[in-house]
Structure 1
């Protein structure tokens, strides 16, 4: 925890948990239902009954909540203390005193901690491992957590030849500015990210339609504003081409069950791997 606070103070890490704490203020049943459907769409099936679900970098705790609602036994952990608190808050709201949902503090880079967790039917880490500061090591570390025949569901930022260096600079600048001056980065980034879509909505007579209905359009039940802050501030920041992630896990005996890319643009590529060769 001290390491996290030091990194934040040095401008080397974004406070994801503080952003997630604000998201919990707008979380409702509709957003939870959207998140639930998005998870089932990627994993297949109608529930997770009897499954053991490990949420690496649980953030708001939304997808740990969804997994528990779907019947899984859940273990959630995060490196950011405020994210741990957010996840614990969702457990308190929806599953108080539930022994089948454990919330803890840990890092995907801490091999000693990871070795205490054992193996899981589903290892889930959406948009997390590229924020560790050592993405490839984190990917290496989480691999043994997936039991034979189990599932790994990860999302990793897409590599863009031109824009990746630009966004790296933006994110670093945001975190190194005093909080009172971060609007100098956030404002222009908001215009860049949302300007074209806002103009399009105005042109078709539906002002701010996409913004207001972002949870439905984004599928995962998230908040437009909180996603903007998360994107602009999200640092450390690493990326990978889809084929790099595929090759990495293929060499470890995993087979790709499902792939959802961002079309070569901004955002995450989603991968669902099975811990067994395709021939099986």
Structure 2
């Protein structure tokens, strides 16, 4: 997909109230990025992939967002390719590369769509394919999940995170998110304020009763390194929005020849379930 076509389509979707501008949120996030957040990202990759480094490995970051986890993979020694559908997210990832790995030929950053099979095919195969909290925002989650199979090398790992299906609450959140992206920027507070009360109200009350006002807020760390405020906006605005149950994802990739290596659930609650799969080798004797 050519950059101009991708950017035009993305802008039109935002204008029609069909998509949240994730990249704009990430641009603000970069202003507060620090070494501690980077180290947390590195630790997350090492833990979930069960490695000490990625030396000699190739790493594909699908929907790179801020570029934080592409950066973490590069620090671990991987040869990285990052791409995103959102032009501002591409700009964020480029900004991180310019800060920490200027003119590095082992980190390529592109504009592209996970729904474009031709684009994905041209990227080739990778030892690690990573897509955290992205595929459920494509509007065609199951298609995206099938598409990325072609990018995982035999014996390679697939690390994805997808929103948990809570049933009725998930349907209500779909309506909230759709309302948020459909409103003009000046009116979005009408949705955001009640969501703040829903998401943070009980915690704030508990901290106040315990005589520790704002302690949870001040110590908060999201999986993606966001501040509490940025995380709330990312959640409330995150549209398109699809959900899945862990067993559905397990069955889907098992049928494609994957085995599950690690699973981290949100215990049936609000958030993402994380999966690390390994693709079967072409020669089963290996």
* TM-score (ref. length: structure 1): 0.97
Q: SS at the partner of 2:250? A: helix
How many equivalent pairs are there? 278
Q: What RMSD in Å do the two structures reach over aligned CA positions?
A: 1.3
Cα distance per residue 1:106-132 (max 9 Å; x no partner): 000011110110000000000000000
Structure 2 counterparts to residues 1-280 of structure 1, below 5 A? 1-215=7-221, 218=222, 220-276=224-280
Instruction: List runs of 5+ in structure 1 lacking aligned partners.
Output: none
Unaligned runs of 5+ in 2: 1-6
Q: 1:179-211: per-residue Cα shift (whole Å, max 9, x none)?
A: 000000011001100111111111222211111
For residues 75-112 of structure 1, the C-alpha deviation after alignment (integer angstroms, 9 at most, x for no partner) is 00000000000000000000000000000000000111
- Cα distance change, pair 274–89 in 1 and its aligned pair in 2 (3 A): same
Residues 140-170 of structure 1: per-residue CA shift (max 9 Å, x gap): 1001110000000000000011201100000
Following TM superposition, the consecutive aligned residue runs of length 4 or more in structure 1 with deviations greater than 3 angstroms are 277-280
How far does the alpha carbon of each residue in 1:28-71 deviate from its partner, in whole angstroms, 9 at most, with x for none?
A: 00111111111111111211111100000000000000000111
Residues 1:51 and 1:38: Cα distance change in structure 2 (over 3 Å):
same
Alignment partners' CA distance in 1, 2:217 and 2:108? 34
How far apart in 2 are the matches of 1:264 and 1:59? 26
